[in-house]
Amino acid sequence: MMAMIPAALLFAGLFQLAGCSDSTEPEPVEEPTRAGSIPSDAVKVTPGTDVFPPVLNSDDFSTPVPMPGPVNTAGVEDAPVISANGSTFVFFFTPDGNEPAENQVVDGVSGIWWCTWDGQKWSEPVRARLAETGELHLDGSLALQADTLWFCSIRAGTYRDIDIFTAARSGDRWVDWQNAGSRLNAELGVGELYPTSDGDSIYFGRVEGGLGQNDLWLTVREGQSWSDPVNLDSPINTSADESRPVISPDGSELWFTRLSSSLGHSGPSIFRSTRTGGVWSEPQEIVSNYCGDPGIDAAGNLYFTHLFYDEDENKIEADIYVAYRR
């Protein structure tokens, strides 16, 4: 899973590369493409060749299928984020999931990509520019609240190896990217997050102080700052690893990834809890078999990352899948 980039960079070596220059005007460089960056020996897995296909455990959804349109490739598509109205789709791409972050940061293509729905089809994804030209950075998508994109980033000048940032959409560009601040990053140690539609609460993952390996927490807005976090506790959190929360646009459903299946399937699974009277229900395992990083639109359609593994459980690639709400 990519939603929070799992590796830290040795920035010193990278900035030595960035600092090399001379007075010669550089030649124009053609923008790299996703297709052109994928290794020639990459294997594109299809539902027919998938050793561990997604298993649906709910009658509320149709059978999961690869997301239609030009999003999926033989590379890694991960960390899906869908706008509430279903018109904007944001995701992470890297041509080879086995490459370390220090290689991804300089390959010119790894990072956040996005596309839009015109009523009939998805547009060709384009790279989201979230840094100054020439600035080394590696970004991962987290959430989309109205026209604000929340993302995590490895770059210089951060509070920790990976910080939370925001950016604002302006037409076909993302502008005004900025660090989310010391409270969320340095003090609360916020990991993968998702804000409520009103922006007054943030659900997030964090390792420190929880019931297990990683737990889900809640912080609420207090003026210009954020409250001390509250652990969501049982039945949401267990001794296992819960992460990558998503709150539905109406606030009635909490979705997340648990790194182990309660039904005996392989790899991570996606769970859903519903809220009644302010109380979250026992989570139900919705999709299993190397599935995680859920994204939900206002219609209740479920977008998620599906990891492809071979018979020996070696990682091959990853695609975005969708299960439409019935």
Is the residue at 135 inside a domain? Answer: yes
Confidence of residue 29 (pLDDT cuts 50, 70, 90): low
Residue 128, domain CATH: 2.115.10.20
Is the residue at 48 inside a domain? Answer: no
Give residue-wise pLDDT tens across range 61-113.
999 999 999 999 999 999 999 999 999 999 999 999 989 989 999 999 999 99
Cα distance between residue 311 and residue 93, in whole Å: 24
Q: What is the dihedral of CA 165, 169, 170, 174, to 10 degrees?
A: 50
Cα maximum dimension of the chain: 66
**DSSP assignment string, 12-25:** HHHHHHHH---SSP
Is the residue at 16 inside a domain? Answer: no
Which pTM was predicted?
0.90
Is the residue at 269 inside a domain? Answer: yes
Is the residue at 14 inside a domain? Answer: no
Is the residue at 36 inside a domain? Answer: no
Is the residue at 15 inside a domain? Answer: no
Q: Spell 58-83 as b/e; 16+ CB within 10 A means b.
A: eeebeebebbeeebbbbbbbbbbbbb
Give residue-wise pLDDT tens across range 273-295.
999 998 999 999 999 999 999 99
Q: What single-letter amino acid sits at 248?
A: S
Question: Which structural domain range is residue 195 located in?
Answer: 57-323
Give residue-wise pLDDT tens across range 188-216.
999 999 999 999 999 999 988 778 789 99
Confidence of residue 32 (pLDDT cuts 50, 70, 90): confident
**Number of domains, the chain:** 1
Is the residue at 30 inside a domain? Answer: no
- Specify which residues 127 forms β-bridges with: 113
